[in-house]
Amino acid sequence: MLRCILLDDELPGLVYLKMLCEQLPNVKVVKAFNDPELFLKESANLEFDFCVADIQMPKINGLQMAVFLKHKPFIFVTAYSEFAAEAYDMDVVDYIRKPLQQERIQAAVKKVENRLLQSKEKEQSFIVNTDQGKSILYFKDVLYISTSSIDSRDKEVF
């Protein structure tokens, strides 16, 4: 289950976006914000995997939010096409033009899922040479590593 935060300064758009996201079976909406400043204040205390945000908002726009939360994947939903190049330069996951459609949001969430899976695999595993060939070890499965009692150049993984 992917946890998301929604951000749109226009309340009707936010309600519609929330409804569409809640209909996706693998998405849980943690919280929806219509004020970007309030979102910034609360974001450190919220656990979420990605953010779906409007770009054109007063005071703080969606692009600035993505810079602030650069460690989180972003999907932008906007009525404007002129921010697309800048958004993709920032490596956002997707850029969806309004009016929103369920299938388009679902495709964007699938991209988030793939990106998160790829980053988890890279961070949580390493490749080792064994007497059986190469093997992938996951950090969560390793208790400890010690020097082999047979040959000090070899290591034993428990």
pLDDT per position as a tens digit, 96-107: 999 999 999 999
Q: Are strands 155-157 and 50-53 parallel, antiparallel or unpaired?
A: unpaired
Q: Which bin fits 80, alpha (ψ -120 to 50), beta or left (φ > 0)?
A: beta
Whether the full predicted model's pTM is greater than 0.85, yes or no, is no
Q: Write out pLDDT tens, residues 39-92.
A: 989 988 999 999 999 999 988 999 999 888 888 999 999 988 888 888 888 889
